[in-house]
Structure 1
Amino acid sequence: MSEAANSYASVTVDVRDHVALVTLIGPGKGNAMGPDFWRELPEVFEALDADPAVRAIVLTGSGPNFSYGLDVAAMGGALAGVLAEGAQAGPRLDFRQHILAMQRATSAVADTRTPVVAAISGWCIGGGVDLIAAADIRYASSDAKFSVREVKLAIVADMGSLARLPQILSDGHLRELALTGKDIDAARAEKIGLVNDVYPDQQACLDAAFATATQIAANPPLTVRGVMDVLDEQRTAAVAASLRYVATWNAAFLPSKDLGEGIAAMFAKRPPNFTGE
C-alpha cells in the first residue's frame, strides 16, 4: 500500500511477504471503535483487496486487548436525533442510514476476497465480536475474553454479530451469548467454535496467525479467491438481508428509556435498572 494509505487514525497497516498486518489502534481506549474506525476500515480493506501483492491479512489489536467495541461516548451523537422526544420518520430514517453506513466497516472485512485471520488477545467486546465474526479464521490467546454485550445496553447488535455468528456457532450457543451478554473466556470460545485454536500468550497467537496467513499466501492466489467466492456465495444473501433487517428494526424500536438507562449505568459503572419502557 502507498504511504498515504497507511496514514490512518484507527489502524496501522504493514505489508510484507504477501501478508498484510492490520492492527487496531483506537484512538479510543482499548482500541474502541469511534468515527475514524467506521469511516476508515472500508477504505483499508478495499485497498488491500485490490492490491495484488496482498494474498492474506492478519487482523489484531494493539496493546493487551483486541477491542472494547463501540466507543459509545464518541458515537453518541448518532443517537441524539432518534432519541429526542417524539422523534418521527425523518430522524429514524437518518439513523437507519447511519447504521447501514457503519455496517460497511465489518462487511468490508467479510466481503474481501483476501482471506482474513484474526488474532485476538484480551477483551473482545461487542463491536469487536462483530469484527472477528467477519474474519475467515479466528485464533485467541489464553487471556482472551469475549462478550456480545449489546443487550446489556438495551441495544440489538446491528454491526454483524447476529448476521454472521449463526454460520459460526450453533443456535443455542449464539442465543446464550446474545441474550445474556455474558463474558466467556478463550477456552469456552474454542469449545463452542467461536475461535479455531487457543495459544498460551499474545505473541504465540499472533505467530500462529502469521503462520496460517503465510500458508494461504503460498497457494495460487486465483484459486484461493475462487475458494473464497464459492464459500461466501453460501452466506452472502442471508447476511445482507439480516443486516438490512436489523438496521430497520433498530431505527424503529431501539429508542427507549432502557437505552438511556443502559448507557447511563455503563458510564456510572453501576447495574442498570431496566423497566421495559
Structure 2
Amino acid sequence: MASYSPKYFKMSVASEGVLLVEINRPPANAFSEAAWEELGATFQKIGEDGSVRVVVLASTNPRIWSGGIDLASFATFTNDSTGPSDPARHALYSKRYVTRFQAAISAIENCLHPVIAAVNGAAPGLSIDIMTAADIRYASSDARFSIRETVLGMAADIGTLARFPKVVGNESLARELALTGRNFTAEEALSIGLVSKIVPGTRDDVIKAALETAKQIAKNSPIAVAGTKHLMLHARDHSVQENLDYTATWNAAMLMGPDTSIAYKGTRKGGPPPVFPPLEKLSGKL
C-alpha cells in the first residue's frame, strides 16, 4: 500500500487489502478546517491506491467517534473579517467554503473502495455527515447520535440532509431528528436503518466486527466490488431504467477482465480459493 502520513488520522494495514483509518484529533476528534481538508485529501489518495480493497473508518477515542465540527473553527469562519465586505460577495465567499467542505466529506462516498464506518460513543452533528457518506455503518452498543445543527442555529449543510433521508427511508422521522436535534441511541439507529449492525461492547468490539466484514469483502474481485459500489450509488440517484442501461454498459467493459473466470474456477469443488489481481496490476497507475 502507498504510504500515508496525515496529521489527524491514524493509518494502519489491518489485513491484506484492508486499511484501518482512525480519526485522531484529541481531545474530542472535532473537525477543524485543516482536519476536514485532510480527510478529503486522504480519501482521494486512498481511492487511487489499487492495493487497498476496503477501508474501515473508526476512532482512536474510546468514548467519542467524532465531536463533530470544531466550534472554535466554525466561529472563526462565521466571524471572518478577511472576506468580501458586501453581502452578495460574502455569500459567494461562504458558498465556496461550504462547497469545499462538502467535497471533502463526499470524498468518502466517491472513494473507489467501500468504506465501513465503525462508530462508537458520541457521534453528533458532522459525524452523521461522515457516516452517511460511508457504504456500511456499524455501531457499538454505547454509540449515541444526533443531528445537532438546528441546536447550533443553522441547517445541516455538509451532506446529512441530502443523504440521511435516503439512508433511513423515512421522511417523517428524518425531519423529526433533523428539526429537534435530539439524541438517539444505537438501538434506534438500527431500527431506522442508519446502521446495519449493533456490536455489543465499545470501540474495540465494533472495530473488530467491521474489520471482519472488510476481510470478507477484500476476498472478492476488486473489479466487482468497486463496480458494485459505483452502480449502487448510480441507482440511488437515477431511475431504474437509467441504472439498468448504465449497468449494461458498465459490465460490457468490466466482464472482459479475468476476474469472472478466476471466480468461476475458485468455486469448483476441492479447488483453491480464488485469488484476484490487485487493481494496479490491471490498469497500471490509477
Matched, 1:208 2:206: no
Aligned position for 2:188: 188
Post-superposition CA distance 1:124-180 (Å, at most 9, x none): 010011000101110001100000000001110011000111211111221111010
Aligned position for 2:66: 67
The secondary structure found in structure 2 opposite 1:9 is coil
Q: Structure 1 regions of 5+ residues with no counterpart?
A: 239-277
The secondary structure found in structure 1 opposite 2:134 is coil
The secondary structure found in structure 2 opposite 1:198 is strand
Look up the equivalent residue of 1:8 and give its one-letter code: P
CA distance, structure 2, for counterparts of residue 215 and residue 199 of structure 1: 17
The secondary structure found in structure 2 opposite 1:96 is helix
CA distance, structure 2, for counterparts of residue 167 and residue 37 of structure 1: 27
Look up the equivalent residue of 1:233 and give its one-letter code: H
Matched, 1:149 2:148: yes
Aligned position for 1:259: none
Give the number of equivalent residue pairs. 234
CA distance, structure 2, for counterparts of residue 90 and residue 37 of structure 1: 26
Query: Structure 1 residues 34 and 237 mapped into 2: Cα distance closer, same or farther (>3 Å)?
Result: farther
Post-superposition CA distance 1:198-232 (Å, at most 9, x none): 11112221111001111111000001111111101
Aligned position for 1:24: 23
Query: Structure 1 residues 2 and 113 mapped into 2: Cα distance closer, same or farther (>3 Å)?
Result: closer
- Would the aligned equivalents of 2:48 and 2:112 in 1 still touch at CA under 8 Å? no
Q: Give the alignment's Cα RMSD to 1 decimal.
A: 2.0
Post-superposition CA distance 1:209-260 (Å, at most 9, x none): 001111111000001111111101123579xxxxxxxxxxxxxxxxxxxxxx
Deviation larger for 50-59 or 72-81 = 72-81
The secondary structure found in structure 1 opposite 2:208 is helix
CA distance, structure 1, for counterparts of residue 237 and residue 37 of structure 2: 22
Query: Structure 1 residues 155 and 137 mapped into 2: Cα distance closer, same or farther (>3 Å)?
Result: same
CA distance, structure 2, for counterparts of residue 167 and residue 180 of structure 1: 19
Give the greater-gyration-radius structure (CA). 2
Once superposed, which parts of structure 1, at least 4 consecutive aligned residues long, lie more than 4 Å away?
A: none
- Quote the offset at 1:7 in angstroms: 2.0
Aligned position for 2:246: none
- 1:63-142 paired onto structure 2 within 5 Å: 63-64=61-62, 65-81=64-80, 87-142=86-141
Look up the equivalent residue of 2:140 and give its one-letter code: S
Look up the equivalent residue of 2:176 and give its one-letter code: E
TM-score (norm 1): 0.80
Post-superposition CA distance 1:58-102 (Å, at most 9, x none): 0011112100100010232211248x9x85111111010000011
Look up the equivalent residue of 1:50 and give its one-letter code: E
CA distance, structure 2, for counterparts of residue 228 and residue 53 of structure 1: 17
Aligned position for 2:44: 46
- Would the aligned equivalents of 1:56 and 1:217 in 2 still touch at CA under 8 Å? yes
Look up the equivalent residue of 1:232 and give its one-letter code: L
- Would the aligned equivalents of 1:69 and 1:126 in 2 still touch at CA under 8 Å? yes
